Amino acid sequence: MLDCTLRDGGLINEHKFDDKFVREVIKALNASGVDYIEVGYRASKTAFSTDKFGKCKFCDEDFLRKSIEGLELKSKLSTMCDVGRTDVDAIPDAKDSVVKLVRVACYTKDIDKAIDLVNKFHAKGYETTVNIMAISHALQPDLEEGLAQLAETPILAAYIVDSFGALFSEQVHFLVKLYAKYLKPKGKEVGAHFHNNQQLGFANTIEAIRKGANFLDSTLYGIGRAAGNCPTELLLSFLKNPKFNLEPVLDVIEKEFIPLRDKIEWGYNIPYMIAGVLNQHPKAAMALRAGKDKDKYVQFYRDSLAQEELS
């Protein structure tokens, strides 16, 4: 289990979580027994402004160390790097970092660039995965070519990332089997990262597990960009592994996430549903929800259909 609350959740507030919130999330997740805690991105400060974005966008080593000070970590820390938005030379070797796993995010067209990053991070001593984003838009020949290449790298897993929350169980089954065809013979695992536009984030994660996915993404209270993600509390409860402890997760949701919901919005709603049904990026739905006409569902649906016809 990998909880990506601070990374995916940060996409809705420019990663501007205060230090106390970050520490409480890490503390609770560590006590819950999840295997990895993703603290954020390690984005290049030339690509992103430190004035606009919060600390979880950059995950400087001093910030990370302060966030876990005094904690006996059982979970491993993770950060994500986007192809083209990462300064590898600015990131310390694993022996000098509290981070153990680096996840490289890319589209199918950039898998070769992701592999280059993977090799550089592996040389620095990190565990690595690759998250193939917008999988519902990927062409099968391109995906298969990329998976064949990834199978020859030192990654732990390659992820199915349903960025637009568009997939149903049959497609999940197909993709897990396709990934496994290339990855499993080389000792790599299949990862699952599903968004909740059609209220299927948790269900699709279960379907991926049934077909052999062993790296699972989730977030506390389902927080994440737009409709959010598979909720960590649901997944912990479903897995019924005695190493997991639900109480710390419930406690941090009660104390930190319920108040946060009064400040920022995430989770299922109609515009995000429409984006998922039409297999579209949620940016238009997010813009609608941030404006004065946030509940004009019919017009948004018509506009989205028109955009579908143009594309």
The residues near 287 (Cβ < 8 Å, ≥ 6 apart) are none
**Both tokens assigned to 204:** 């699709």
Q: Which residues of 38-51 are buried (b: 16+ CB within 10 A; e: fewer)?
A: bbbbbbbeeebeee
Contact 187, 155 (CB under 8 A): no
* Domain ranges, ordered by start, for the chain: 2-260, 270-310
Rg (C-alpha) for the chain, rounded Å, is 19
Closest of 109, 193, 121, 191 to residue 153, by C-alpha: 121
Q: How many CA atoms lie within 13 A of 221 on its CB side?
A: 22
Mean pLDDT, residues 1-18 = 97
E strand map for the chain: 2-3, 36-41, 76-82, 99-106, 127-132, 157-162, 189-194, 215-218
User: Which residue stretches of 92-223 are H helix?
Assistant: 111-123, 140-150, 169-183, 201-210
**Both tokens assigned to 100:** 């153990």
Please say if the pLDDT value at position 311 is more than 80: no
Over the stretch 162-198, which tens digit does the pLDDT of each residue have? 999 999 999 999 999 999 999 999 999 999 999 999 9
Closest of 192, 74, 178, 176 to residue 129, by C-alpha: 192
Over the stretch 124-133, which tens digit does the pLDDT of each residue have? 999 999 999 9
Contact 101, 127 (CB under 8 A): yes
Looking at the domain that runs over 2-260, which CATH code has it been given? 3.20.20.70
The residues near 38 (Cβ < 8 Å, ≥ 6 apart) are 2, 3, 4, 5, 6, 7, 8, 77, 78, 79, 80, 103
Bridge-partner residues for 159, per DSSP?
A: 131, 191
32 pLDDT band, cuts 50/70/90, is very high
230 pLDDT band, cuts 50/70/90, is very high
Is the whole-model pTM more than 0.95?
yes
Please tell me the predicted confidence (pLDDT) of residue 164.
97
Query: What is the CA angle 38-289-285, rounded to 5?
Result: 75
Closest of 223, 238, 232, 217 to residue 162, by C-alpha: 217
d(CA 20, CA 36): 20
**Both tokens assigned to 122:** 């592996």
